[in-house]
Amino acid sequence: GYPPTVREIGKAVDLSSTSTVHGHLARLEKKGLILRDPTKPRAIELTPEGLEKIGIQPTTIPMLGVVTAGEPILAVEEASDFFPLPPDLRTEENALFMLTIRGESMINAGILDGDQVIVRKQSNANNGDIVIAMTDEDEATCKRFFREVDHIRLQPENDALAPILLDNVTILGKVVGLYRNHI
C-alpha cells in the first residue's frame, strides 16, 4: 500500500488541523525518527531510530552480489551492502541473504534480469523448489531443483533453455522472496 496522507494521519490521531499534523511530522523528522521526501507528499519512512522507539528492531540482510539465471557463474560470497527487511519477514539471525539475478532463465517463474531474490540459507531442497545451487566447479545459479533417479536436474523456467544435469550440487539456499526496483 501507500503511506497515509496528512489528512488520514490527522483523522487517525483525532486532529482536524492539517497544519498541526505537519508540525508533528516536522518535529519527528527533526528528531531523526522519520524521513520525508519534500517532492512526494506521501513519502514518510520510519528510520531505524524510529523503529526502535516503537519497539521494533530494524533488520537488514546482506547483499552478496550476483547469481545467474542463465549460465552458471563463479560464486563469490562477500557482502556488498545490506538491504532493510520489513519487520514481518524477520527470521533467525543470519538465515537470509540477497542476490541480484543476471540472465533470463527464470522468467517464466517471474524472476527477471536485475531482480533481487531473498534467499533462506539451507542445504536441502524439495523437488520443485527454486534454489541457489553451486556446482562442483564453484559456479552458482538460480534454478528449479529436481532430484531424479541418477542425477540432479536444475531446471530453468524459460522454454528456450535446456536443464542442467549434474551428479552433485550444493544447495546454498531456497528463494523465499523477490524485490524488484525496476519496471
- pLDDT of the chain, 183 residues: tens digit per residue: 677 888 999 999 999 999 999 999 999 999 999 998 888 878 888 887 887 888 777 677 777 777 776 554 444 456 667 777 766 666 665 588 889 999 999 999 999 999 999 999 899 999 999 999 988 777 889 999 999 999 999 999 999 999 999 999 999 999 999 999 876
Residue ranges covered by each domain of the chain: 6-53, 59-179
Contact, 28 vs 50, CB < 8 A? yes
The pTM (predicted TM-score) of the whole model is 0.68
How far is residue 15's CA from residue 10's CA, in Å, rounded to a whole number?
5
Catalytic choice (17, 105, 123, 174): 105
Q: Quick one: cell of 129?
A: 523448489
Contact, 30 vs 50, CB < 8 A? no
Coarse DSSP helix, strand, coil percentages of the chain, rounded to the nearest 5 percent? 15, 35, 45
**Maximal CA-CA distance, the chain:** 71
Nearest Cα to Cα of residue 178 among 142, 151, 145, 150: 142
143 is catalytic: yes
Task: Enter the DSSP assignment of 132.
Answer: E
What CATH architecture is 59-179? Ribbon (2.10)
Nearest Cα to Cα of residue 146 among 162, 161, 166, 126: 126
Catalytic choice (30, 53, 123, 143): 143
Q: Give pLDDT, residue 171.
A: 94
Q: Return the bridge partners of 178, or none.
A: 117
End-to-end CA distance of the chain: 17
Q: Quick one: cell of 99?
A: 542476490
